[in-house]
């Protein structure tokens, strides 16, 4: 199958790239070799891409007329960056200035400048310089909250030093347009890593790596906005820049010159950036100085660059985690806070840099697996719909993954409905500054992958019931297949179905027939058994890594590298078998120890795949629908009223009794008249009913939709106490761990 896929995807061969390089024609635009998405040799592909860029007249004209000459953008580390606020009504601004003053932003609806609002911000002392000799003294930040309305065009200006005297010098005017929040789109990129393309002029004002990468990064963003002009913001999966060190004046200057390249695209004056922290960003305070991220005041998940942050856009919650920090406890605390801000969000999206379920050769089965131990359980625990990552400069899309298991669905139509588990996306390179090879084998959890050597980006469309990701190269051609997740409003996870069924089984409010209850218990046991079959044993390395993070006992160094040789899997930079239960499951069931290849006897039926989860859920729901309430004789509560009159004459006694018994939507009213001993029983049924041999009607519990749980019907079936139980269990979203017996 894999061989056929490679043929169908028009895989690029080494010889094709070499031929393309040798016959390349210089044109007004870079003549990048055109080919369908597939697998490529990154070394020759990188050479072809670099040559196509630097030999084009368009690039050379831009280099001398704009980047190094003209507006000299190579020196402009002070360009303003917009960032999403806590909600769509809010917006953040950040920029550098040569002197420290009182920063402010003036904003108004297009055409209504007379009603402009001026919002002051804060200036923080910095000491920053780039290789072009620009020196900056302040990082300026302004947050405008509760101001922006949907589908509205705004104009803004900013200043380094606001004055009430009317002599403020304002910037040029820029526009910012808001969009609807019930249905919207975003752009996704990863690893532009400005400065990584490998020129020999590093640490120089005319660094050609920065120039080349800035040029292609700008092309990527221009094409992204052409394809998705109404994008609400950019999600960046990290590694905005290349220089990972920040300990010397030289490296700090290089980082600031690289930020000039990252912030160069003019679209960023109007498109907010939500940039997560990559391993190349992690040590420099310049990251925090350039971006005004929301909800980061608790400083959880922090490193030298910054920390976790989150924001909401309509019914979608976006959480950015700093995966350079391995303290799972801090990230859990932060995610709890983020989810509490929008507990009913239709979609939960997490972005971090490390591709914990990726397919790139340098990292996916080495250092990224260390981060898998820490971050994958959090995705499961908090029911994350999609996790967006970078790091490996190759694109991949996973199957639905939960607790290391692939949840088996039919994806032949490019979509999945109401799925269990999390979808993992690894982005390609946003600028083409660096490409990597794919792993020599395809991990069992990967549905699609490519490393075609072109810059790429994705668009993600959100609505209340649909999320679709589409991926393109920077020429606008498809780079990967589209993929859609759909949700229905009444969908329930397997854990929620189990909780609802358990509540019915354990409730004493209603007595069901033995036959129907046994059928439910049997279906429930099968569903629990299916989930238990995929449960990973508790992983001791979660506590080990979290507790010892940053101490002398830390068994991990850098960005997931193994610190001690005794812990390594031979020459491979990953924990050896027997240390982590999650890695034993997700690596060593497929991969040979000490190697980057499948086990000699590996076959796909040995992969951790859970099949039949939907069918098992439906069986439980059907059994709930089929529950029959036992026939019960009503117990009338007799309330007697004696009316006695006359001279010693005994009057008659009139007794009226009314009994009400609630259960399964059934109301029973009993009347005892005059103590005659005759009893009339009437039942009112809200569900389907049938007559039994005694003339007493019994009802099924209210219907539950096939595949889903209808809460209202269950409340009726359970009565007051049962409804309270069910309301509690259904208030919880599904837990990530497979069912623990």
In this prediction, residue 355 has a pLDDT band, given cuts at 50, 70 and 90, of very high
Percent of the chain with pLDDT over 70: 80
Residues 505-525 have pLDDT tens digits of 999 999 999 999 999 999 999
In this prediction, residue 681 has a pLDDT band, given cuts at 50, 70 and 90, of very low
Percent of the chain with pLDDT over 90: 77
Gap between the Cα atoms of 517 and 692, Å rounded: 18
Which residue is associated with the tokens 């990252």? Answer: 262
Q: What is the mean pLDDT of the chain?
A: 84
Sorted by where each begins, the domain ranges of the chain are: 2-486
In this prediction, residue 32 has a pLDDT band, given cuts at 50, 70 and 90, of very low
Residues 520-550 have pLDDT tens digits of 999 999 999 999 999 999 999 999 999 999 9
- What pLDDT, on a 0 to 100 scale, did the predictor assign at position 247? 87
Q: Which two tokens stand for residue 419?
A: 């799925």
- What pLDDT, on a 0 to 100 scale, did the predictor assign at position 548? 97
Question: Rounded to whole angstroms, what are the CA distances from 371 to 493, 575, 694?
Answer: 26, 11, 65
Averaged over 20-46, what is the pLDDT? 55
Which among 225, 198, 210 is positioned nearest to 77, based on CA atoms?
210
- What pLDDT, on a 0 to 100 scale, did the predictor assign at position 735? 37
Averaged over 180-187, what is the pLDDT? 98
Residue 296 has pLDDT above 70, yes or no: yes
Averaged over 137-162, what is the pLDDT? 98
- What pLDDT, on a 0 to 100 scale, did the predictor assign at position 200? 67
Higher pLDDT residue, 479 or 731? 479
CATH number for region 2-486? 3.60.21.10
Phi/psi at 511 (5° precision): -100, 120
- What pLDDT, on a 0 to 100 scale, did the predictor assign at position 634? 60
Residue 26 has pLDDT above 70, yes or no: no
Averaged over 96-113, what is the pLDDT? 97
- What pLDDT, on a 0 to 100 scale, did the predictor assign at position 607? 96
List of residues 6+ apart from 190 with CB closer than 8 A: 236, 237, 238, 239, 353, 388, 389, 390, 391, 393, 426, 427, 428, 429, 430
Residue 341 has pLDDT above 50, yes or no: yes
In this prediction, residue 153 has a pLDDT band, given cuts at 50, 70 and 90, of very high
Averaged over 39-51, what is the pLDDT? 94
């Amino acid at each position: 199958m894999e061989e056929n896929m490679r043929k169908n995807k028009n895989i690029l061969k080494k010889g094709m790239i070499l031929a393309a390089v040798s016959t390349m024609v210089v044109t007004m635009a870079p003549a990048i070799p055109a080919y369908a998405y597939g697998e490529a040799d990154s070394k020759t592909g990188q050479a072809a891409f670099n040559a196509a860029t630097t030999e084009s007249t368009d690039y050379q004209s831009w280099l001398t007329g704009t980047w190094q000459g003209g507006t000299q953008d190579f020196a402009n580390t002070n360009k303003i960056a917009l960032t999403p606020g806590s909600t769509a009504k809010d917006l953040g601004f950040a920029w550098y200035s040569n002197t420290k003053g009182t920063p402010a932003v003036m904003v108004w609806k297009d055409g209504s400048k007379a009603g402009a609002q001026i919002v002051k911000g804060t200036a923080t002392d910095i000491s920053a310089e780039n290789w072009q000799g620009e020196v900056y003294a302040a990082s300026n930040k302004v947050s405008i909250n509760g101001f922006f309305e949907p589908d509205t065009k705004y104009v803004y200006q900013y200043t380094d030093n606001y004055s009430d005297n009317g002599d403020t010098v304002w910037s040029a005017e820029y526009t910012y347009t808001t969009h609807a929040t019930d249905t919207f789109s975003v752009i996704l990129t990863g690893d532009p890593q400005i400065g990584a393309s490998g020129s020999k002029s590093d640490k120089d004002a005319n660094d050609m790596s920065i120039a080349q990468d800035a040029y292609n990064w700008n092309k990527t963003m221009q094409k992204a906005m052409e394809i998705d002009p109404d994008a609400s913001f950019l999600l960046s999966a990290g590694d905005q820049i290349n220089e990972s060190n920040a300990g010397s004046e030289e490296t700090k200057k290089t980082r600031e010159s690289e930020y000039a390249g990252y912030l160069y695209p003019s679209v960023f004056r109007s498109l907010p950036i939500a940039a997560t922290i990559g391993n190349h960003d992690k040590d420099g305070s310049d990251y925090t100085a350039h971006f005004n991220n929301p909800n980061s005041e608790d400083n959880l998940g922090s490193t030298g660059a910054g920390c976790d942050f989150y924001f909401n856009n309509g019914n979608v919650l976006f959480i950015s985690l700093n995966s350079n920090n391995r303290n799972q406890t801090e990230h859990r605390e932060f995610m709890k806070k983020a989810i509490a801000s929008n507990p009913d969000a239709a979609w939960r999206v997490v972005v971090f840099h490390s591709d914990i379920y990726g397919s790139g050769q340098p990292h996916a089965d080495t250092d990224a697996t260390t981060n898998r131990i820490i971050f994958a359980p959090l995705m499961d625990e908090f029911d994350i719909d999609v996790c967006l990552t970078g790091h490996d400069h190759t694109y991949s899309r996973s199957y639905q993954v939960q607790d290391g298991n692939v949840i088996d669905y039919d994806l032949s139509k490019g979509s999945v409905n109401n799925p269990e588990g999390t979808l993992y996306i690894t982005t390609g390179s946003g600028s083409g500054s660096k490409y990597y090879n794919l792993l020599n084998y395809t991990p069992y959890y990967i549905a699609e992958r490519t490393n075609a050597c072109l810059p790429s980006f994705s668009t993600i469309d959100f609505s209340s019931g649909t999320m679709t990701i589409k991926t393109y190269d920077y020429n606008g051609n498809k780079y990967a297949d589209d993929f859609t997740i759909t949700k229905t409003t009444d969908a329930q996870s397997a854990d929620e179905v189990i909780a609802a069924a358990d509540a019915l089984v354990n409730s004493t409010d209603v007595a069901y027939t033995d036959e129907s209850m046994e059928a439910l218990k049997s279906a429930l046991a099968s569903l629990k058994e299916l989930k238990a079959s995929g449960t990973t044993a508790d992983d001791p390395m979660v506590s080990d890594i979290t507790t010892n993070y940053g101490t002398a006992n830390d068994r991990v160094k850098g960005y997931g590298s193994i610190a001690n040789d005794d812990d390594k899997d031979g020459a491979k930079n990953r924990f050896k078998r027997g240390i982590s239960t999650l890695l034993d499951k997700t690596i060593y069931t497929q991969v040979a120890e000490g190697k980057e290849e499948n086990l000699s006897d590996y076959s796909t039926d040995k992969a951790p795949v859970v099949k039949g989860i939907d069918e098992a859920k439906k069986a439980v729901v059907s059994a709930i629908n089929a529950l029959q309430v036992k026939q019960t004789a009503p117990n009338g509560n007799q309330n007697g009223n004696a009316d006695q009159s006359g001279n010693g004459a005994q009057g008659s006694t009139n007794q009226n009794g009314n009994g009400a018994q609630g259960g399964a939507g059934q109301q029973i009213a009993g009347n005892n008249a005059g103590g005659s001993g005759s009893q009339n029983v009437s039942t009112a049924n809200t569900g389907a009913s049938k007559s039994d041999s005694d003339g007493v009607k019994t009802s099924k519990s209210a219907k539950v939709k096939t595949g889903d749980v209808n809460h209202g019907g269950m409340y009726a079936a359970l009565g007051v106490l049962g409804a309270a139980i069910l309301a509690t269990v259904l208030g919880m979203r599904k837990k990530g761990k497979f069912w623990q017996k």
